[in-house]
Structures are given as C-alpha cells and as structure tokens.
C-alpha cells in the first residue's frame, strides 16, 4: 500500500560548470600535443613518446568526460528520457577504458620487440617534443588548479594532467640518456613503464563504469547502515525492496518500501526518512513508499538487497 513518494530533484548543473572554458582549453592543448607526440614518436622512433601520447589520451578522455558531465547535467530531462542523457558519460568512460587497455597491450608488445632488437632513436627531437609536452602539462595544470578545490569533476581532470606531467618527465630522462650515452634500450624501458602506469587507472575506470551500468551500490554507501537508520525511525518496523544505485557519477538514487505500524505516521516517517537519506548519506534523489504493516504479509513481494 503506497502512501507517498519523496523525490529530490536531480541536479541541473555542477560545481565544475563555471570552469567549463578552462576545461575546454586544457582539452584543446592536450589533444593538440597528443597528436604532436604521435608524429614525434613515429619520426624519432621513440616508443616512450608514443606511450606518453597514449597516456595523454587518458588525459584527453578525462577532460572530455568532465565536459560531457557538465553539458549533460545542464540539459533538462524529457518525457522520453526522464534522466536525460547522463549515462552517456558512463558509456564514454567505458569506451575510453577499453581503447586504452588495447593501446597498452600494443605498447607492451612493442617494448618487448624493441628489447629484442633495439631500433635507432633520434634523441634530440625526442627531447624537444618531451620538453614541449611538459610545458603543455604545466599550463593545463595552471588552468585547472583553481577549480580542483571546488569540484571533484575538475579535481579528477587536474590529477589526470598531473600524472601525465610525470610521464613527460620520464620521456625527458630517456631522451637525455639516449643523447649522452647512446643507450637506446632506455626508451622501451620508459615506454613500458608508462604503459604499465596507465593500466591501474584504466582498469579502475572500467570497473567503475561497469559497476554503474550494472546498477551497483555506490561504494561510499553502506547499505546495512542505511537500513539500520531507516528502521530506527519511529514507527518503522521493517524495510523492504531497498535499492541504492548510481545513475551517473555524482547522481545517486535510492528506493525502498518502509513498513509502518500505524498509517497515521506515514507523513512523519516519509519526511524523516527523506531527511536522513539526504543529510547522512547524500542521497537526494529518493523514492520511498509507505506500507501498512497489517497487510504487508498478504502482498507477497518482499525483496531485500
């Protein structure tokens, strides 16, 4: 017996919205130099440059996802798409992760081949490209530094660029070693190192995207604790059909049935439950149905997660 629903409004924007132009500038710089690194890597024969270009692809993907999240958060829902297109961010993240894992496999294979037969590498141009890459990373970090303290979205993009800056430093070291010692084997070593550095972040991104698409519980939410808090509300005798899931990053939802001992308490229970979810768990988008305990056993559909 449903007596009420409580829905928190889905967000219509993000804290990252005011930093949209800076994100776009950082994305433009990163993408442009990623292309330059691919060209430079093919010209100089440097696997480290090509690996760093793949690393910059992760940055470009992260920056693009941040912009996608902002764009779709600003679009209103429609009768056909009641949540809008916010899941596009998750699908994009999954695609990005799959592509990067494939690239990493190729980089590691190429590194193995180069260990067997080290190619000739042009150290000078390799060093120049790597130094320019470092400068691009530093500029992007400067663009995003302010917003990183205000938005998790921008903060994630900032750390993407920070990690690529470390990759650029690795390429610079490899180029210097090649220039002054002629020890070209350092190039596939650095290239493989950058490739391996990408794997944990990419695997984590893939797991998060799949978890969301599978309607998994947000990792920061303890379902057992949520149930305990709901049962502790005066008048509630049981919690049924409890579901908590992520619609897209930054937008979690919850639905449940609360069984009460007295239907006259329905409004008070609904108000208390909504407030508890919002203040203690950050769940503003909730659907809560009140059920009469006296007829609960006759409904025959009790599902608990």
The mean pLDDT of 180-203, rounded to a whole number, is 83
The alpha carbon dihedral of 93, 95, 97, 100 has a sign of negative
Average model confidence (pLDDT) for the chain?
80
Predicted local confidence at residue 179, as pLDDT: 87
Residues in the chain: 305
* Cβ count near 37 (within 10 Å): 28
The predicted model scores a pTM of 0.72
The mean pLDDT of 158-165, rounded to a whole number, is 73
Q: How far is CA 86 from CA 67, 139, 154, 278, in A?
A: 12, 30, 17, 21
Q: What structural domains and CATH numbers belong to the chain?
A: 15-213 (1.20.1510.10), 223-298 (3.30.70.1350)
Read off the pLDDT of residues 241-275 as tens digits, 9 standing for 90 and up: 999 998 877 789 999 999 998 899 899 999 999 99
Nearest to 178 by CA among 251, 98, 112, 118: 118
């Amino acid at each position: 017996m449903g007596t009420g629903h409580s829905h928190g409004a889905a967000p219509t924007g993000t804290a990252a919205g005011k930093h949209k132009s800076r994100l776009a500038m950082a994305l433009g710089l990163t993408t442009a130099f990623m292309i330059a690194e691919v060209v430079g890597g093919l010209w100089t024969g440097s696997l480290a440059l090509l690996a760093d270009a793949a690393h910059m692809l992760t940055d470009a993907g992260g920056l693009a996802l941040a912009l996608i999240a902002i764009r779709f958060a600003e679009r209103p829902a429609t009768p056909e798409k009641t949540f809008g297109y916010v899941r596009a961010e998750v699908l994009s993240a999954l695609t990005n992760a799959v592509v990067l894992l494939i690239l990493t496999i190729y980089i590691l294979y190429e590194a193995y081949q180069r260990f067997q037969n080290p190619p000739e590498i042009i150290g000078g141009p390799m060093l120049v490209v790597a130094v320019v890459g470092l400068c691009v990373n530093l500029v992007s970090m400067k663009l995003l530094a302010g917003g990183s303290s205000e938005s998790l979205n921008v903060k994630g993009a900032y750390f993407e660029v920070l990690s690529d800056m470390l990759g650029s430093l690795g390429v610079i070291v490899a180029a210097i070693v090649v220039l002054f010692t002629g020890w070209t084997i350092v190039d596939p070593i650095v290239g493989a190192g950058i490739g391996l550095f990408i794997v944990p972040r990419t695997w984590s991104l893939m797991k998060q995207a799949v978890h969301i698409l599978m309607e998994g519980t947000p990792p920061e939410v303890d379902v057992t604790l949520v149930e305990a808090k709901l049962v502790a509300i005066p008048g509630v005798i049981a919690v049924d059909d409890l579901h908590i899931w992520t619609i897209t990053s930054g937008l979690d939802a919850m639905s449940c049935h609360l069984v009460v001992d007295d239907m006259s308490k329905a409004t008070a229970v609904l108000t208390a439950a909504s407030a508890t979810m919002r203040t203690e768990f950050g769940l503003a988008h909730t659907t809560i149905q009140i059920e009469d305990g006296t007829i609960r056993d006759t409904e025959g559909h009790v599902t608990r997660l």
